[in-house]
Structure 1
């Protein structure tokens, strides 16, 4: 049965089903802050989402960044009142079928995202480091090296789009092309937290870091020494944002997320210690 919060008229329009009752439904994800379904009729299928808290406002991200910059993202078919209907770009994620080739292909996807020209100011200025640390309230080591490194990066590296949740579950393939899904956390910054999280997950699964970073450098035509700096700063920024999410939202919506805090703080400390 199609959930009641999904507009019936839009369902019929995009699936071309004769009646809502003819539409097949598949629940893909249901968390405290998001719910995702696949709706299909015959060979037509779409993805429908609704989110709250940090998962809300994806339609605004589409309007501001994804659509104008032609990001490698699912096409937006409908968006209103926190409900999005999106093109179905594939049924297999990198989380479901992790491979070395998949992670390398995803690195090229990061380069494609970063290659889009961005105007305007950074959404993660150096001052945000201390703001996030204050909100988290559990960090007992000096973050000044990160502030300095982020200031230098704003001088030395161009701004680009950061997907913000570039992890295997959000990387989908149709067997030929890879697409990044779930864009509500996207923002503009000079660092490479997307490449950092991709490498982080690959290494955790036993894959080598080198080919993934090398593929990004090749695809982006980037300076490998600058990329190393962008990776470290991106890793620290990822940890800060993840900690802020857990403290401010995850503890309410995700059972067991309290256990993520200490490892994230330890990871943040390790990355900050490596900053030049």
Structure 2
């Protein structure tokens, strides 16, 4: 079984795998959502990852052009990209069979913290995409009630201050265990369509959040990032908190505006995300 949309990228796939024909390829579905479909295609020991993204997932090619390639970020090599019928098709190097969600070891989470410090060390020539103006716009579009909305709006000054104290850097936007892949030797960050620029640390927030869910302690992971990045502990705490607000707000607006249609089960996440957002804002009081 192979993806029905393979034809426009069949040539690069055959070249990369050295398969004599499409019929000789073996296909394995890795993800199949309304807006994102990911396959591993292989011939013998050679394999590539092919992706079809629409809606917000269609921006991964742009993320590679803006950030991944010019900054040489630790991401899969882009073999080929093509736009077709409102979607982007990508051929990417296969960087490993195991992700951190499958094997959630503390060593893997610590490696994720170091990898994030590497990403954040790269200066980027772009304006922040999570200013106080962006915050207020996301709040307006979110399903937060009046009390939570008022609390979120009061954070605008803290967001402005963070821009004074920390440089804007690349934010992956979905820095979770399933997007950290290893070949047994090194770790690579996959799935970049949500990447943007901001001074906060929502990526570290989600890494720690999931580490705790798997039973790990958060402090060593934050400390590993802090040591690798050479960053002030108090600043990292503020970046983490604002990052948590950014992550949950962006997730909520995505569900309301797209997720309900492309990933119907995402509607069930709204309640827990609102609770999480309320907890973060309470901590800021």
Superposition TM-score tier, normalisation by shorter sequence: over 0.9
**Runs of at least 4 residues off by over 3 Å:** none
Which has the larger displacement, 97-106 or 249-258? 249-258
Give the alignment partner of residue 77 of structure 1, picking from 76, 79, 83.
79
Residue of structure 1 equivalent to 2:52:
50
- Where structure 1 has 5 or more consecutive residues not aligned to the other structure, the ranges are none
CA contact (8 A) 1:145 1:272 kept: no
- Where structure 2 has 5 or more consecutive residues not aligned to the other structure, the ranges are none
Q: Distance in 1 between matches of 2:214 and 2:13?
A: 38
Give the alignment partner of residue 33 of structure 1, picking from 32, 35, 40.
35
Residue of structure 2 equivalent to 1:200:
209
- DSSP 3-state at the match of 1:90: coil
Q: Distance in 1 between matches of 2:209 and 2:154?
A: 22
Q: Distance in 1 between matches of 2:162 and 2:229?
A: 17
Q: RMSD value over aligned CA atoms?
A: 1.1
Matches for 1:11-160 after TM superposition, within 5 Å = 11-81=13-83, 82-140=88-146, 141=148, 142=150, 143-160=152-169
Q: CA deviation at 1:12?
A: 1.4
The C-alpha deviation readout for 1:105-139, integer Å capped at 9, x for no partner, is 10001101101111221011111111111112433
Q: CA deviation at 1:11?
A: 1.9
CA contact (8 A) 1:35 1:50 kept: yes
Q: Distance in 2 between matches of 1:185 and 1:209?
A: 24
Give the alignment partner of residue 185 of structure 2, picking from 171, 176, 182.
176
Q: Distance in 1 between matches of 2:267 and 2:42?
A: 37
CA contact (8 A) 2:139 2:153 kept: no
TM-score (norm 1): 0.97
Q: CA deviation at 1:253?
A: 1.7
In structure 2, the CA distance between the partners of 1:218 and 1:46, relative to structure 1 (3 Å rule), is same
Aligned residues: 276
Q: CA deviation at 1:29?
A: 0.7
Q: Distance in 2 between matches of 1:185 and 1:11?
A: 25
In structure 2, the CA distance between the partners of 1:177 and 1:192, relative to structure 1 (3 Å rule), is same
- DSSP 3-state at the match of 2:155: helix
The C-alpha deviation readout for 1:56-86, integer Å capped at 9, x for no partner, is 1211110011100000000000001100000
